[in-house]
Structures are given as structure tokens and as C-alpha cells.
Structure 1
Amino acid sequence: MRLRRDTLKNPQQELRIFRSRSLLAALVVTTLTGLLMGRLGYLQVVQHEVYTTRSEKNRVRVEPLPPTRGLIHDRNGVLLADNRPTYNLMLIRERVEDVDATLRQLEELLELSEEEADAIRVRAGQRQRPFQPALLLSDLDEDQIARLAVNRHRLPGVEVEAQLLRYYPDAEIMAHALGYVGRINAEELKSLDAGRYAGTHFIGKTGVERYYEDLLHGQAGLRKVETNARGRVLQELGRTDPVPGKDLTLTLDKELQTLAYELLEERRGSIVAIAPQTGEILAMVSAPGFDSNRFVTGIDVSTYRGLQEDLDLPLFNRAIRGHYPPGSTIKPFLALAGLAEGEITPEETIYDPGYFQLPNDSRRYRNWLRWGHGRVDLERSIAVSNNTYYYSLAHELGIDRLHERMSALGFGQRVAHDVQGESPGLMPSREWKRGRFDQPWYPGETLSVGIGQGYWQVTPLQLATATAVLANRGEWVKPRLARRIGDEPVPVELPETPPDITVENDDWWDRIFSGMEKVVSGHEGTARRTGEGLEYRMGGKSGTAQVFSLGQDQRYDAEELAERLRDHALFVAFAPLEDPEIAVAVIVENAGGGSAHAAHLARAMTDAWLLEEEEVPDVDELRETMETDDGSVAGN
């Protein structure tokens, strides 16, 4: 115990301990101070430019300026696709600390439905370029804008941006022809030019909007802005203005397009009208239509599902993708092929007992008039739509020559210059059947093709195009939708236009035209009531296309069939006969005979185009004068 007391009370020992501890503390402080000063020197001297640049980027940023999309007008300058001002909700993810928390705030603040909340979460998560705003909601209303403005301080990285949004004044009538724009998706983003589409959230999806996307879109610009610590813009430091897209003037006539849509009376079908000499598509309607404006801002799931599940298929463009047997509308084209191949002459006649039989075959291929038409020549065969004449002609030509001649008229191929999504239809051949079914071609199938039945499938646009080529006496002018791009007219002579159709004797055109005129004006014409009161000469041809096949001895009775199993009604026409200005193809699904249910629609279209407004007959009056469907098949 004594030793311990002496040690604790040793002043020299305590002094040594104090000095060593003080030295160690000073050494630690000096070392730490040196490290701190060294780091400060490194950051302020060595890394000076790096952090100056970062600071500048926090204060100054470059923002894209989306271009104004080009407007679309009809041939008379009527606006078909406009840009209206709107406010959009944008999110810059790089400026948001917690994206999920911000999205929850937005859901509560804007009182979004569950579907809308899911939609903005998906859009917020889509791949974007760094600092590229993601479009969460379009077309905000005043109440939503006010709520966002009041809570702006709580939502860093969230902006309300004023932009122009596509708007279609006649959405339902023009939906299929114009198409629509929609939000750029992840797949499209991969292939788009990053500079040109900077700041752009919409792109053409279908129709004219898609085909002419490159011209309508324009070129994005840039602006350099100064921001505060929260990323809010304080002032603009400089800009490169965007280049607006080019305006587009179409060949469509809005009034004629509207008339065609109204003529279909909410029936399923299509009407296409073409100016033969220029190839300008004057009207191209598919009914029923849909409101294309719903797709611009993003259609909700329930509405889209309703459109998809609608039995009338409003989203399906019948004018360019609908496949229909052409029925008897193709008889003038077959007559032309028979003349060109030397199998018939205009004066040559056949006797029609009401049916045709192949050699060594007991089956009877019946005429639509069961007791027959008696003696029939070329003109009368067209006027009365005699099947037996064309069974015989098809048998003589054979499927190989039929395929070649009909392909030259545009059947089985895409015919238009700038119609996005056009289907080639189907012009059957031996090779096609062998490849499709691994079966040979049978003679009876050639007879079916001879009256526009069997495997042969056409689109309304193809049928109108072939009628225009016929009206032009074989001169091909490729159909088109664009009349002017900006101030530059689209040329009539377009690339990849098929070669003209030539015949040895120009009188043959007159004989075919005469037969078609007798369809609407002759005393035996299948659509003779259509020609009553005509103030010009018109050529036409009716057609009735079977939806399902009848047995040899079965009779067609529309009243006993479900509506969707009834025949399609078809009619093609052009006028005036001596100098055609319009060619029309009409298809009305499940309506019955073409003479009774499609001819008056074609007449109304030609009247509207050729006559003064006060001279155009009332459509309802025309409809009342039409013949009723007699239940015959594939002939009238």
C-alpha cells in the first residue's frame, strides 16, 4: 500500500504522462488538419473545372423545343387535322429523389382513378433519355392545373408544360383515312432520331399521319435556360427555334367523304371514289368508324376493349384491308380479257339455258336467273349480269390467263401510292393454291373465279382502282391521298405505276362501256332504276357476293338467314361516260343484292360530284325507287 501511494504522488511521472498525451493529441489534430487542407486544395485547385461544370449544369440546362406538327387539309382547304393548345403533366426523373412517393402525391392531389394511377406509373417507368421529361398526363383541366400550381413547392421534378395537341374535327368520318397520332412507345423510341424527336411525345400511328410522319413532324429546337436550386426556370439564355412540320393538302373532299359515311347509314361497308384522270382519292370511307381523338391522349382500357370486342369492327379499315369476293362487278374486266385474248368478239353470242356444264361433268353451274337469258352477246351479258356467259369465258381463258389479266388491273397487289397498311387482297393462281393447300387447281374453281367468287378476294380500294383504269381506257394512274406537300404539288406520274393496258381495237372499250351504261339505263339493266332521271351518262356494274356457299339445288332466302350470313351488296360506276371524272366502288356488308342495296349509293356519289348542289336528288328518294332484293345469288 505504501508503494502505490508513493507512485500516485510522483510529480515527475505525472508530468511525463501529460506531455506524451498532449504530444499525441497535437499530432492527431495536425494530421487531420493537414488532410482536410489537402482535400480542400485538391477540390478547389485540381478539381476546380470539374465542379465548376457541375455547378453550372445545376444552374443552366438545355431543354428541347418540340416542333409544331403540320396541319392536314382537304382538297378545298377545309381543316381535317388541327393542333390545339393543351397542358400536360411532365416528370423529370433525375430531379426527383423518390419517384414512387411523388407519384403517390400526384394520385392523391389529382384524385386519379385506379386505372389512371396505373397508367402514370407505367409512363413514369418507361425508358427515357437522361433529363428527358416523361409525359404522365395529357390535356389537364383547369382544376388540375390549379392544384399543381398550389403544391408546386412539394413536387420537385414535376412540371406542367403547355403544348399543342392533335385534334380531329371530323374524327369518326375521317378516322380510317387520316389515322391518328399517339404516344411514342418504348419500341418506337429505340428507332427514332434522338435529336429530331427531342421533346416530342407523339408520333403518327396509322393512316396519313403515319405514312407522312417524316414530313408532318418537323425538326426539334433547343433553348438554354437558367434555373434555381429546385430546377425552376428563371430566365432563357438562348434558343434554336424548332422547324415546324409541313402542312399537307389531301385529295379527299370532306363533303363527299361525309356523304359517303352518311350513305352507309351505320351499316358495315366501304365507299371509295377516285378521279380517274389524276388518281386522286376523293373519298375513302370505312364504316362504322371511331373517335380517333380518344387515341391521341391515350384511350382507357375499357373503351379500347369495347372497340376491339365490337362485332361491327369499328377499328378495322374495310376500305383497304377488307377482303370481299368481287361478285359480278368484275364481269366488264373479264370481258376485256376475253377480247384481248381473242376468246370472244363483241358480236359473238351464246345460248343460256340457265346453267353451264363442263365437258364430261354432270354438275350444273347455274345462272342467277334460273330459266336463263337466252341469246346473250357481250353487251347484254354485262347489262343483265349473265353468269353463263362468264362461266364459258372463264373456262376458255383458264386460270393462268385470268390471273395474268386481272393482276394487270391491280387485283392481288397493293395499288395506291401513299395508303399506309393497304392489303394486296388475293388473286388466286395454280401456284398460290399449291403453296397454300398443296392441291392442284380444278376447272370448277376457274368457273367460280369467272363470276367473282371462290378464292378471289378484293379490297374496295382495288375495285375502285380497277374501275378507274377501265374508265381511263386502260391508262394507269396510281391512286394517291396527298395533293400537295407544303406548297409543292404531288406529281400525277408516280413511281412503280403499272403499265397501261392496251387492246388491238379501241372500239372494244366503247362496247364494254355501252354494256355498263345499259346496266343503269337499259330496259334489262340490273340497276335500271338507278338511272332514272340521270343528267349525265353513267356506266355501272352490280355485284352480289356470297358469304357462304349454297348446294347445287339450294335456293337463297335472305329472310331465313342470320343477318351476318346474307350476301354482300356491291356496285362499281364511273361518269360521265364520255369523259369520266369520278369512279366509285361501293360495298355494303350483308345487305343483299348489289342492284337493290348499293347502286343508289354510287348514284348519290356521282350526283354529288358532278351536279350543282341544287340539282342533286334526295338520297331518300333515290332509295325508295330502288328495286327490292329478289334473293338471287352472285349475279345481280
Structure 2
Amino acid sequence: MPWGEFKDTVAERRIFQHRTLVALMLLFVMMGVLMARMYYLQVIQHDTYTTLSDKNRVQVQSVAPTRGLVYDRNNVLLAENRPVFNVTIVPERVADISQTLSELQAILNISEDDLDRFRGRLLEPRRPFQEIPLRYDLTEQEIASMAVHRHTLPGVEVNAELVRYYPYSELTSHALGYVGRINRDELQRIDPVNYAGTNYIGKSGIERFYEQALHGKVGYQHVETNARGRTLRVLERENPVPGEDIRLHLDIRLQKLAHDLLDGRRGAIVAIEPKTGGVLALASVPGFDANLFVTGIGVEAYRELNESLDKPLFNRALRGQYPPGSTIKPMLAIAALDSGSTNRERTVWDPGYFQLKPTGRRFRDWKRGGHGWVNLKDAVEQSCDIYFYDVGVRMGVDVMHDYLTRFGFGEETSLDISGALPGIVPSREWKRAHRNEPWYPGDSVNMSIGQGFNLATPLQLATGTAVLANRGVWNQPRLLSDVLGDHDFEEGLFGAARDDIILTDPDTWTFGIKAMEAVMHGTKGTARAAARKAPYRMAGKTGTAQVFSLAEGEEYDEEEVRIRLRDHALFIGFAPVEDPVIAVAVIVENGGSGSGTAAPVARAMFDAWLLGFPAPDEPVLVKSDPGAGE
């Protein structure tokens, strides 16, 4: 048969057509699936994938607010912000941290302290992609070196930021406090939203107390980044709200004068404006450079400060608790009169000692031969211990405790001066709780001259003096004068005010002030030498505080101990008597007598405030006589 009879062309054509149809159908189905998928991705899921894409390209960054500035009463800047360039690392963008650190060490001068701080912060809880600082305050040469090597160091940035700076660092370190890096504990209690992007927080003093006002409100910005995470441009920005600028009652001229007057001697001076309670000076010597703590102090530098025998980190003005000595005699004189324990005419014989019983212990007067017959005014003017021994026993501990606490002793009475200690005004209950002993009459004898269990801080002495100058009117001490600009500062931040001291006879205030005036201007006043040739009248009271401190078996330098076991020299006072505008408390550790050491310092403070400050280049000289009487 011919070959063509076996080939069915019609059947083959039919099979081809079927196969073609199936292929076309499959093609259209696949195209439909692709189109549906494209529609799903491009239309239905458009917002989702746009967001995911933007996350790779656009990031939201927090913008830290500028910290508020701090001024003194004359608008002298005490705490400012200065720009510095820092090297920071974002660990999430670094493949090998160790290698990156090694490369940076070859470029920059990075100390072991810098590395230790960085490694410590690397282990602390933090926000994702948060930069960790490595080196602060780069020089121009270091900035140029980083610019050259920048492309080889992914995740490493050179950033400019505003860092706190204290122009009068050592003068204001104890009054203002300082800011520092936010640590782990602070990270747990702060607002994570408002502190996003903020690296610093107030650690002590005014910086800590007014942290809420000084910090401000965080801002945000949307930035476009490349594949390596570097910022290309800012797409959108919400500016932060800067912190509030605040003005203090503090006068930096008086503060500097206080430091100069102490002349390197350990001690403290507190000056208060009685009519407002404003703290004019809060000096603790020696001080320290607060700028060292802002970006992180080195281990060696901190050890040197912490182990110094003079304790520069210790705020003597707020936390130094000393026996107030005879400085509380004017307050106890007022207490004795108001409680009826004595009167103005009553006299006591002072042979140089006092005995509760004829054969009992003799409590000595500071003047070996005694003062003879003295009344209450004489006792304050000449600082007669015997009169106050007698009247202290008459009053008893309950009366003395009651009146001294009204003057602010034994309590923390300041409004915004954080960290102050309350001191001790002993009572029957206090001794039972702390010594498990009853109160003895001999305890009242010691309490009557500010010795025994009594402890007070220089701030408390200045506060009590200001209340006395105000004739019982309380204006609690505070550093803040006002908040500058428009603000919504919290009212009621300070709590309730203290009650004024109301006496049975208001003229008792006049008597107490006149007695203090006699201390300065009387013929037998213990501080009459300090008030010599003054063109104004001042009131004051000298005092000494006994010192004893040496652990058993402790090695010591004989000459050093001889100096450090001297009595502390104290003085309180205010001026002018007719209309007090300044009250001062001075303590010079191991200074000897209050009349010879502390009173001349207070006189120089009065002169500067009332008559004018010395020229900046004029040396401050104070004639002291540590061997003078009390």
C-alpha cells in the first residue's frame, strides 16, 4: 500500500490543535496567577511593603532636647552646653567589635578607661541601634583622621553633641552638682520615650533636683539612610522642646569670695538672704572639677579624689555634721526666756566650773578663771558656759529640743537643696533608741553649749541664724530664684511652708539680737576684734567644736594629727542689725577659735555684700588668730 494511506493528517492536526489549546490555557492561567499576585502585592499589600521598604531606607531617630542653662542672680552663666565631637559605635552595624576597636586604637588615642567604659555600656540594657560613645572631645586632627578612614569603619560615626560645661567648676561643684551618663538603674526609672536619644541626666545638686525642668522634651526626625546605615538626608523633623533656663539666688562673686577666704582650709560657708531664704553662697572647700564627671571620670582620677585625706567630694555645707558649740547659745537664750526658765536680770556666779552636786563632776568653762557674776546678756556676749550649764539644767532636754527644732535643727528644712543631712537634736526618746540609756542631767549640761550628742550642718546653722534675724519668720532656704521664659513649672513642688516661731513676748527677739550685737560690738564681746571699724552694726556668735578621731592601732603622721585634732572654729551672724540682708554660717575645720578664725571670715563676707566686692585682682587677706578665745 502506498505510504500516504497509513498517515492520518486529520488526526494529527486535531492532536496539535488540542495541545496548542491546552498550552494556551496553561499560559493564560499562569499569566492570571501572576497578574493576581502582582495585584495583591502592588495594590492590596501596598502599604505593608512600602513600610517595610522604608524601614530599610528611612529611619525614625530621636532628637535630644538642649538642656536648660543655669544662671546666678546677676545672670552670670554657671552651667552651659558646649559642642564636642565624639566617636560612637552602633554594635548592630559592626561585624567584629574587637577588630573595629583595634582599628580605632591605631587611629585615635583611646585609653584603657575608655575601653572599659565602652565594654561596660555594651553589656548594659539599651535601645536597639543606640549609639555607644567610645571617645569624647576629639581634637581637630583626630576628626580629620576619622574622616579619612570613615569608609572602612561601618557602624562607627563621629557625632557632634552638646555636653554640659561648668565655667566655675570647682566653685560651684557642690552647689550645682553635675550631670553624667545615664546608668542602668536610672534607665529603669526614667521615661523611655522622653529620654530617647538623651545620654545625660542630673546626678546631684540643682542638676538633679530640677532635672524635669532642665531636660526638656524629646523631638524626632525621619532620615534616609544607605545600605551601610549612614544618613543621607532628613525627610521630616519634629523639633525638641529645650529645657527651661533657671536663675538661682546664688551670687558667683560671693561664692568665689567664700572659697578665697577659706584659702584651701577645710571648711564651709553658707550665706542666706533672710527676707527670701535665697542661698547667696554655698561653699564647701576643697571642691572638685565637676566637668570631670560629665563624660565619665577615669579610674585613677576618681581614686585620687575619693581617697584624698581632705575629702573634696564630701559636701561639708550640706552633709558635714558638726557639734554646733556655742553658736546655738542665742537660740537657747531665747528658749530660756520664753519658757520662763530664767529672766534678763537673773545672775549666775561663774568660778570657771559648774557642778550638779557639790562633790560631782566639774564641767569647765572655756575661760579658766571664769567670768564672775553674769546675767543672760553677759553670758551670750562673753560666751559664758557656766550660765548656760545652769539654765540648760533648768530648761531640761524637752524644752531645749522643742525650741531648737523650731529653728530648724535636727530636720532637713531646705526646699531644693538635695542631699542635706538633718543633724541631731537629741531627746529622751533619741537616746533611748540609739544608746539604750536614759537621759541624765549631765546630758542637758553638754547640750546647753552645743556639745554632747548635738550635731548640725553649716546649712542648718545659717538657716537658724536667718530665722533669728527675721525674728521668728520662716523663709526656707532655696537656691532657685525663678525659671526664665514661658514655662509650666509645677506649683507646690516644695510642699507646705514651716510655721513661724511665735514667742510669748515678741520683745524677746530684740533681746536676743541685742545680745548677739554685743558679741560683735560690746567691750567684752568674743568677736569684737572682727567688728573693729565696721561702718555698720552686725550681730553674731562665735563657737568652737571639740574634735577627737583616731582609730585604735591606726598609723598616723604626728604633725598631721596634731593639726587635725584642733577644735573646729565656728561663727554665725547677720548684718546689718537694723535690717538684715545677709546671714552667714562659717566653719573652719581644725581652725581653733571661732573668734580668731571664723569671725574674720564672716566679717569679710559682710563687707563684700554691704560695701562692695574687692577688685578681681585684689588679694583677699584675712587676719586670723587660732589661739584667740572662743
Q: What is the TM-score normalised by the length of structure 2?
A: 0.88
Partner of 1:9: none
Q: Which deviates more from structure 2 when the two are superposed, residues 415-424 or residues 352-361?
A: 352-361
* Cα offset, 1:509, TM superposition: 1.6
SS in 2 for 1:328: helix
Q: Which runs of 5+ in 2 are unaligned?
A: 1-29, 550-557
Q: 2:110·2:135 contact (CA, 8 Å) conserved in 1?
A: no
Pairwise CA distance, 1:123? 2.5
Out of 461, 468, 474, the residue aligned to residue 470 of structure 1 is: 468
* RMSD (CA atoms): 2.6
Amino acid at match of 2:165: Y
> Which stretch has the larger CA shift, 413-422 or 93-102?
93-102
CA shift in 2, pair 1:487/1:112, >3 Å: closer
Tell me whether 1:78 sits opposite 2:76 in the alignment.
Answer: yes
- What's the counterpart of residue 534 of structure 1? 534
- Corresponding letter in the other structure for 2:524: E
Q: For residues 111 and 590 of structure 1, do their structure 2 counterparts lie closer, same or farther at Cα, with a shift above 3 Å needed?
A: same
Match of 1:289 in 2: 287
The letter for the 2-side match of 1:305 is R
Matches within 5 A, 1:386-401: 386-401=384-399
Per the alignment, in what secondary structure is the counterpart of residue 122 of structure 2? helix
Give the aligned partner of residue 61 of structure 2: 63
Change (3 A) 1:563 1:613: closer
CA distance in 2, matches of 1:488, 1:368: 57
Pick from 399, 419, 435: which aligns with 1:437?
435
How far does the alpha carbon of each residue in 1:100-134 deviate from its partner, in whole angstroms, 9 at most, with x for none?
Answer: 33233223332423332222222233221112222
Quick check: 1:135–1:201 contact (8 Å CA) kept in 2? no
Equivalence for 2:132: 134
Q: CA deviation at 1:542?
A: 0.2
CA–CA separation in structure 2 for the residues paired with 1:628 and 1:99? 61
Between 305-314 and 112-121, the greater mean CA deviation after superposition: 112-121
Alignment of 1:80-479 (within 5 A): 80-359=78-357, 362-479=360-477
Deviations 1:12-67 (A, max 9, x none): xxxxxxxxxxxxxxxxxxxxxx9xx99x9699689876554332211000111110
Q: CA deviation at 1:514?
A: 1.5
| Paired residues of 1:224 and 1:236 also in contact (CA < 8 A) | yes
Q: Are the counterparts in 1 of residues 114 and 134 from structure 2 also a CA contact under 8 Å?
A: no
Q: CA deviation at 1:288?
A: 0.2
Does structure 1 residue 599 correspond to structure 2 residue 599? yes
Cα deviation digits, residues 160-181 of structure 1 (max 9, x gap): 1111111100100110001011
**Partner Cα separation in structure 1 for residue 615 and residue 360 of structure 2:** 54
Aligned residue identity for 1:109: I
Summarize the alignment of residues 478-493 of structure 1 with structure 2, pairs less than 5 Å apart: 478-487=476-485
Between the two proteins, what is the percent identity of the paired residues?
Answer: 52
Kept in 2: contact 1:569–1:593 (CA 8 A)? yes
The answer to whether the 8 A contact 2:458-2:585 is kept is yes
Which amino acid letter does the alignment assign opposite residue 496 of structure 1? A
1:541/1:97 CA distance change after superposition, 3 Å: same
Deviates more, 1:370-379 or 1:85-94: 85-94
What are the Cα deviations for residues 494-538 of structure 1, in whole angstroms up to 9, with x where unaligned?
A: 633221111122222222112111111111111111111111110
Equivalent-residue separation in structure 2 for 1:450 and 1:270 (angstroms) = 24
Q: 1:513 to 1:259 in 2, by over 3 A?
A: same
Task: State the alpha-carbon separation in 2 of the partners of residues 88 and 439 from structure 1.
Answer: 60
Q: Distance in 1 between matches of 2:615 and 2:370?
A: 39
Q: Aligned partners of 1:492, 1:512: CA distance in 2, in Å?
A: 34
- Corresponding residue of 2:506: 506
499-508 or 562-571: bigger deviation = 499-508
Provide the C-alpha distance between the structure 1 equivalents of 2:541 and 2:295, rounded to a whole number of angstroms: 44
| Contact preservation (8 Å) 2:85, 2:137 | yes
Question: How far, CA to CA, are the matches of 2:130 and 2:493 in structure 1?
Answer: 43
Match of 1:610 in 2: 610
| Greater mean deviation of Cα atoms: 485-494 or 319-328 | 485-494
CA contact (8 A) 1:530 1:622 kept: no
Structure 1, residues 362-415: CA drift from partner, whole Å, max 9, x if none? Answer: 111111112111111111101100000100111011111111111111001101
Measure, in 1, the Cα distance between the counterparts of 2:60 and 2:90.
13
Q: Which amino acid in structure 1 is aligned with residue 340 of structure 2?
A: G
2:14 aligns with none
One-letter identity of the residue aligned with 2:465:
T
Distance between the aligned counterparts of 2:137 and 2:243, measured in 1? 22
Is contact 1:138–1:297 with CA below 8 Å preserved after alignment?
A: yes
C-alpha distance 175-572 of structure 1, shift in aligned 2 (>3 A) = same
Q: Alpha-carbon deviation of 1:138? A: 2.1
Tell me which moved more, 483-492 or 155-164: 483-492
Query: Using the alignment, how far apart are the partners of 1:621 and 1:147 within structure 2?
Result: 51
Residues 234-262 of structure 1 deviation map (CA, whole Å, 9 limit, x = unaligned):
11110000000000100000100000010
**Residues 242 and 49 from structure 1, CA distance in 2 versus in 1: closer, same or farther, beyond 3 angstroms?**
closer
Q: Name the CA shift for 1:496/1:364 in 2 (closer, same or farther; >3 Å).
A: same
**Structure 1 match to 2:52:** 54
Q: Cα distance 1:311–1:615, how it changes in 2: closer, same or farther (>3 A)?
A: closer
- Provide closer, same or farther for how the CA distance between residues 226 and 87 of structure 1 changes in structure 2, counting only shifts above 3 A: same
Distance 1:576 1:492 in 2: 33
Instruction: Report the Cα distance in structure 2 between the residues aligned to 1:298 and 1:148, rounded to whole angstroms.
Output: 22
Contact 1:179 1:210 in 2 (8 A): yes
CA gap of 1:442–1:488, structure 2 versus 1, over 3 A, is farther
SS at match of 1:338: helix
Match status 1:569 vs 2:569: yes
* Aligned-partner residue type, residue 577 of structure 2: L
In the TM superposition, what is the alpha-carbon distance from 1:459 to its structure 2 partner? 0.3
- Aligned residue identity for 1:273: A
- 8 Å Cα contact 1:107/1:117 also seen in 2: no
Q: Does the CA-based 8 Å contact 2:260-2:620 persist in structure 1?
A: no
1:206–1:420 contact (8 Å) kept in structure 2: yes
Q: CA deviation at 1:208?
A: 0.5
Identify the range of structure 1 (213-222 vs 83-92) with the bigger mean alpha-carbon deviation. Answer: 83-92
Q: Gapped runs of 5+ residues in structure 1?
A: 1-33, 550-557
Give the residue type in structure 2 aligned to 1:364.
R
Answer yes or no: is the 8 Å Cα contact 2:568–2:589 preserved in 1: yes
Q: Equivalent residue for 2:582?
A: 582
Q: Shift in Å at residue 195 of structure 1? A: 1.5
Q: Is the 8 A contact 1:139 1:297 kept in 2?
A: no
Structure 1 contact 123–136 (Cα < 8 Å) conserved:
no
User: Which secondary structure does the structure 2 equivalent of 1:219 belong to?
Assistant: coil
Give the aligned partner of residue 548 of structure 2.
Answer: 548
For 2:440 and 2:497, locate their aligned partners in 1 and report how far apart those are by CA, in whole Å: 33
Deviation, 1:455, is 0.8
Q: In 1, are the aligned partners of 2:261 and 2:620 still within 8 Å (CA)?
A: no
User: Given the superposition, is the C-alpha separation of residues 619 and 504 from structure 1 closer, same or farther in structure 2, using an over 3 Å criterion?
Assistant: farther
> Which letter maps to 2:573?
A
The residue aligned with 2:525 is 525
TM norm structure 1: 0.88
Counterpart CA distance in 1 for 2:492 and 2:591 is: 36
Instruction: Name the CA distance, whole Å, in 2 between partners of 1:350 and 1:230.
Output: 89
1:284 is displaced (CA, Å) by 0.5
Deviation at 1:159, TM superposition (A): 1.4
